Structure 1
Amino acid sequence: MTTTPRTSPGDTLRGLLDRDGVLAAPGGGTPLEAHCAAAAGFEAFYLSGYAVAAWRHGQPDLGVTGMTDVVDAVAAITTSTPVSVIVDADTGYGDVTAVAATVRRLEQAGAAAVQIEDQVAPKRCGHMQGKEVIPVLQMERKVAAAVRTRADALVIARTDALGPLGVDEAIERGKRYHDLGVDAVFVDAPESREHLERIATEIPGRLIVNLTESGRTPILPLEEIDAMGYAIALYPTAALRLAGRVISELYAGIRDAGSTAAWQPQMMSLDEMNALMGQGRVDDLEAAVLTQLPERG
């Protein structure tokens, strides 16, 4: 019996990027969000460091997560959903040796792309005040380590230099990271349409934009982002922050009314949730095994 070779995670994502138009990638920190993204028809998912910190630790994105947290989160998603996972690996969790280990571990967990950034550790959310960046030569060492180590995954270099050092420095860093062989450059937190247009015009190669609501970057329609030439548009924490609002209101309703009755029409039924989580696949597997190997008396 012949088998069809499986496409690697990196090559699957490359195939998505070879299509016309910008690739929209909703984000989150859990397999549930990835399941929802797949059910909505998305083929790529962004594992957000902010979301992992919030869901896993109940902490803001201030460098509280480590490599093991992110590796575990990636594996939980890739073993249960078909989406291509773009992974926010923060600063790479160290210098050259640590970055290489991070890339290897994330590839083993099924990451399609690994993103590292040039913030000083401990880092903070890219849309917060008080960011600092490491010297560009230090980041170039990290980028070179990631590119040399990866077997399959795409490497994304993110710069947070725009806030502390200005758009000219951010663009210069983006060019330098591109020249080291990364698959995409991500300038975080542009503060205007002019910034977005300059970045798209002046940095070669694939570019990523972070459309985080209530952040520093204007939230433009996807059609405009596509027209500027961006390759990937991220919506990293929309689901997380909506969930935070809705869960808070639900719990307040239980406290005040002593019941969830008013909320039940908005909930998934138990059957709907089980279907989203893949109960049908589990049932099919059990049925196939029992048919092949019936119980013996």
Structure 2
Amino acid sequence: MIPGSHDTISALLAKKVGFEVIYLSGAALSSSLGLPDIGIITMEDLVNRTRQIVSITNLPLIVDGDTGYGEVFNVIRLVNEIEAAGAAAIQIEDQELPKKCGHLNGKKLISKKEMVTKVKAASEASTNLKIIARTDAVQSEGIQSAINRAKEYVKAGADIIFPEALKSKEDFQMFSDAIKTPIIANMTEFGITPNISVEELKSAGVTMAIWPASSLRVSLKSIEKLYKKLKIEKTSNSSLSDMFTRKELYELLNYDSYEKIDKKIIKTILPD
């Protein structure tokens, strides 16, 4: 189980409750910047957020690299930058630009040959970064075509396959039977893929499952609720039970350790 963390504070919460790997979604990052998921965030946006999350949490981070931000040379640069930022894995998909959310209609794909070239370039550019190849072919070309694409991506160097927008447990079983490579299931809400339990996914041969935008969606609903109440009631009193207390926030941020460092520095510079 791998939760999506759209920013550093949500990543800290994931770590606090015991998750050992986290996922940075391109859609969630775009939304956190007030933008739709159509490929208009920059590589710099992604690298900066990656660096922020990894440096604070020290957790393995899977990063959604969308289409690789261009052609082969862009993919190579993305891999180099994301690996330098400390991520554990980078995900690249086979959509054309401008890309769309994987659970929308009308997606256009690059050719299998073009994606193979990108995956090969990513694999060769990586030192320790795992390469995840996502295929969005199921909707437009059918599941067998998606499987055929995935097989070629594995040959090109993909460590993990991400079949997007599958419609059933049986679809995942077809993929795992055909591809002897770890598979990711996307359990995003309100999409094409139904909510399948972790136990069912495991029985279908799925290696890992992500909830890429759940933290963002819950955060937005909670914040909207607060703002509506605040505007009507002119006070936040009725929302206090929904809030982190000051103590809880400081504990999450490890505030005490910073104070200890501060005191140590002051003592070193200005000894008693």
Q: What is the alpha-carbon distance in structure 2 between the residues aligned to residue 99 and residue 79 of structure 1?
A: 23
1:62 aligns with 2:38: yes
Residue in structure 2 matching 1:73, options 41, 49, 56 = 49
* Partner residue, 2:89: 113
Residue in structure 2 matching 1:34, options 4, 8, 11 = 11
**Contact 2:170-2:204 within 8 A present in 1 as well:** no
What SS does the corresponding residue of 1:233 show, helix, strand or coil? Answer: strand
Residue in structure 1 matching 2:68, options 92, 104, 108 = 92
* Partner residue, 2:25: 48
Residue in structure 2 matching 1:222, options 198, 205, 210 = 198
1:295 aligns with 2:270: yes
* Partner residue, 2:98: 122
- Supply the AA of the counterpart residue of 1:83: L
Shift of 1:199: 1.2
**Contact 2:172-2:205 within 8 A present in 1 as well:** no
What SS does the corresponding residue of 1:28 show, helix, strand or coil? Answer: coil
**Contact 2:67-2:94 within 8 A present in 1 as well:** yes
Shift of 1:178: 1.0
Q: What is the alpha-carbon distance in structure 2 between the residues aligned to residue 281 and residue 165 of structure 1?
A: 54
Q: Deviations over 1:79-129 (max 9, x none)?
A: 111211000000000111110000000011111101100000111111112
Shift of 1:181: 2.0
Q: What is the alpha-carbon distance in structure 1 between the residues aligned to residue 17 and residue 101 of structure 2?
A: 27
Q: What is the alpha-carbon distance in structure 2 between the residues aligned to residue 82 and residue 284 of structure 1?
A: 20
**Contact 2:100-2:107 within 8 A present in 1 as well:** yes
Alignment size in residue pairs: 272
Amino-acid identity (%):
35
The normalised TM-score by structure 2 is: 0.96
Q: What is the alpha-carbon distance in structure 2 between the residues aligned to residue 223 and residue 215 of structure 1?
A: 20
Q: What is the alpha-carbon distance in structure 2 between the residues aligned to residue 90 and residue 248 of structure 1?
A: 28
Q: What is the alpha-carbon distance in structure 2 between the residues aligned to residue 101 and residue 173 of structure 1?
A: 24
Residue in structure 1 matching 2:169, options 186, 193, 205 = 193
Q: Deviations over 1:213-256 (max 9, x none)?
A: 11111111111112222221100001111111111111010111
Shift of 1:290: 4.0
4+ residue runs over 3 A deviation = 287-291
- Supply the AA of the counterpart residue of 1:43: E
What are the equivalent positions in structure 2 for 1:176-191 lying under 5 Å apart? 176-191=152-167
- Which structure 1 residue ranges, 5 or more long, are not aligned? 1-23
What SS does the corresponding residue of 1:53 show, helix, strand or coil? Answer: helix
**Contact 2:5-2:215 within 8 A present in 1 as well:** yes
More moved, 95-104 vs 178-187: 178-187
Shift of 1:264: 0.3
Q: What is the alpha-carbon distance in structure 1 between the residues aligned to residue 38 and residue 110 of structure 2?
A: 16
Q: What is the alpha-carbon distance in structure 2 between the residues aligned to residue 267 and residue 184 of structure 1?
A: 38
The normalised TM-score by structure 1 is: 0.89
What SS does the corresponding residue of 1:234 show, helix, strand or coil? Answer: strand
**Contact 2:12-2:57 within 8 A present in 1 as well:** yes
**Contact 2:167-2:193 within 8 A present in 1 as well:** yes
**Contact 1:38-1:82 within 8 A present in 2 as well:** no
- Supply the AA of the counterpart residue of 1:273: L
Shift of 1:296: 4.7
